[in-house]
């Protein structure tokens, strides 16, 4: 059994070891905490080996529920000018951002469970104003782009898919400069206007 180093003023090597230990220990602790909430296991009367097999079978489903996608929405792009109540996701932050050189908008960032991403994208597509805006949900490998009443799925590195999404976006009067989708896998806002030097 490996235990973390104790005490204050530890050398950097011990701090690194403790961080590595926490990374390994964290998923197990979360899994054990999750098992305590499974009421089915409280009344289960079988040998520990079979209980372990049941837990192993259920655990991948639980892990999938915890993966998240980042959802970025321009608040002004929504029909009511704000997120509807009970909209998919947990609000992470909100900030002002220049849409172009003349227009400041409010970006709302939500965290959405990956298993709800498709439904969240379709709900978002229904809420968008009919022109000039899109919203997206993104993780490290894929993106859902919501246009008004239209949803596009894009994988990292898919140049042809990006081009098709841009063509769709142009039908909603969205400037090409604001649809640099593949760059968004690396940078939140690659389309931000350059700030003038002082």
For residue 138, what is the enclosing H or E element? strand 135-138
User: Among candidates 51, 47, 50, 89, which has minimal Cα distance to 72?
Assistant: 89
Range with the largest mean pLDDT of 20-24, 27-31, 108-112, 193-197: 108-112
**Residue 109 CB partners (closer than 8 Å, separation 6+):** 70, 71, 72, 73, 91, 92, 93, 94, 95
Is 120 a residue whose pLDDT tops 50?
Answer: yes
Domain map (residue ranges) of the chain: 12-66, 68-185
Q: Which residue has the higher pLDDT, 156 or 188?
A: 156
Average pLDDT over residues 17-46: 70
Average pLDDT over residues 74-98: 84
The answer to whether 152 and 128 have CB atoms below 8 angstroms apart is: no
Q: Is 11 exposed, middle or buried (0-12, 13-18, 19+ CB in 10 A)?
A: exposed
Q: Is the pTM of this model over 0.75?
A: no
What percent of the chain is modeled with pLDDT above 90?
30
For residue 154, what is the enclosing H or E element? strand 150-155
Structure confidence at residue 51 (pLDDT) = 67
């Amino acid at each position: 059994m490996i235990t973390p180093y104790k005490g204050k003023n530890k050398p950097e090597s011990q701090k690194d070891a403790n961080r590595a230990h926490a990374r390994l220990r964290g998923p197990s602790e979360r899994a054990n905490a999750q098992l305590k909430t499974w009421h089915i296991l409280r009344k289960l009367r079988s040998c520990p080996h079979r209980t372990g097999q049941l837990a192993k079978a259920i655990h991948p489903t639980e892990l999938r529920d915890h993966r998240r996608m980042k959802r970025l929405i321009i608040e002004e792009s929504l029909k009511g000018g704000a997120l509807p109540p009970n909209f998919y996701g947990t609000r992470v932050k909100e900030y002002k951002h220049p849409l172009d050189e003349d227009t400041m908008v409010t970006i709302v960032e939500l965290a959405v469970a990956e298993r709800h991403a498709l439904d969240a994208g379709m709900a978002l597509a229904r809420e968008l104003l009919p022109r000039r805006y899109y919203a997206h949900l993104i993780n490290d490998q894929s993106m859902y782009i919501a246009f008004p009443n239209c949803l596009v799925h894009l994988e990292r590195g898919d140049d042809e898919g990006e081009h098709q999404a841009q063509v769709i976006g142009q039908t909603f009067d969205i400037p090409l400069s604001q649809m640099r989708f593949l760059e968004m896998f690396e940078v939140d806002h690659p389309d931000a206007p350059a700030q003038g030097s002082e």
